[in-house]
Chain A
Amino acid sequence: MMQPGLYHILFISAALFFIGVFGFFTRRNLITMLMSVELILNSVNLNFIAFNKYLWADKLDGLFFTIFVIAIAAAEAAIAIAIIINLSRNFQSIDVEKTDEMKF
């Protein structure tokens, strides 16, 4: 056990990213796939903040990128949930294997 620093946070964010990738590969339900995408976006945010704090503390650019990623993630989640609700209305299912028709 060492003093926690940049490498520890990079380890956490890499692990969180690949947990999200694992969920994205295995899940076949659209809502759980959306949750995996949220985990991936969070790991990226953690990375930006860690680099800003430990390497470029004289600037705030990593912090601004994190704010913009959070805003875009909120918009993405809202759109994805609108699409999921529309799908469940048309197909009575949100399983990606059953929704194989590109028709509105």
Chain B
Amino acid sequence: MSGADILFYMLAAMILGSGILSVTTRHIFRAAIFLLFSLIGVAGMYFWMQYEFIAAVQIVVYVGGITVLIIFSIFLTQQAGEKLPEQKMGRQLFAALAAFCGFAFIMLQILRHSFIGTTKTTAEPSVVNIGNQMLGVEQGGYALPFEVVSILLLAALIGCIVIAVRNKTQTT
């Protein structure tokens, strides 16, 4: 067993362990921190697969952006340190059963299917190749989705301001 394999299993344990703790802990702040570790584990998995650009994007957007946003909204809306109310046992049992059945079904389908990979030469996932294809307008270029996503981000920005702004006349 080489060092890369050991690293893979450590990353897998980190992702799944902190994922499970994130959805089961009853302290909401701890749930956010465990989510942070799970996302860092996913970024490490991208590094392990040598997709460095995606790993950097994952760290910048998820770990640096979304998790901080979630922690701020916890401080704005909750009494931090207070435990979440206990869930009904029946609901938890049903959810665990449904999740396990779905997982078993998906894994059976994956293990019965044999994937056939391509044998063509590999395209290097370097920043130069990504940038050329991202802004390319010829066959296989992603210029149009790029523009659509930028419009979507602008709309989300304006929508956030409109939704979250405090209405002066309505406040008591």
- Those of A68-101 within 8 Å (CB) of chain B: 68, 70-79, 81-86, 88-89, 94
Contact of A73 with B98 at beta-carbon distance under 8 Å, contacts A7-B111, A39-B35, A88-B76 already known: no
- Those of A55-77 within 8 Å (CB) of chain B: 55-61, 63-64, 66-68, 70-77
Q: How far is the CA of A18 from the CA of B101 in the complex (A)?
A: 9
Contact partner of B122 among A21, A50, A58, CB < 8 A? A58
Which B residue's beta carbon lies closest to that of A33? B23
- Those of B41-95 within 8 Å (CB) of chain A: 42, 45-46, 49-51, 53-54, 57-58, 61-62, 65-66, 69-70, 73-74, 76-78, 84-85, 87, 91-92, 94-95
Contact indicator B110/A7 (Cβ below 8 Å): yes
Number of chain B residues close to chain A: CB under 8 A? 83
Q: Within 8 Å CB of B74, what residues of A?
A: 31
Contact indicator A38/B66 (Cβ below 8 Å): yes
Number of chain A residues close to chain B: CB under 8 A? 70
Q: How far is the CB of A68 from chain B (nearest CB, A)?
A: 6
Binary CB contact string for chain B from 94 to 114 against chain A (1 if under 8 A, 0 otherwise):
111011101100110011000
Contact partner of B69 among A11, A46, A77, CB < 8 A? A77
Q: How far is the CA of A82 from the CA of B19 in the complex (A)?
A: 25
Q: How far is the CA of A75 from the CA of B20 in the complex (A)?
A: 25
Q: Report B's interface with A, CB cutoff 8 A.
A: 1, 4-5, 8-9, 12, 15-16, 19-20, 22-24, 28, 31-32, 35, 38-39, 42, 45-46, 49-51, 53-54, 57-58, 61-62, 65-66, 69-70, 73-74, 76-78, 84-85, 87, 91-92, 94-96, 98-100, 102-103, 106-107, 110-111, 115-118, 120-123, 125, 129-130, 133-134, 140, 142, 145, 149, 152-153, 156-157, 159-160, 163-164, 166
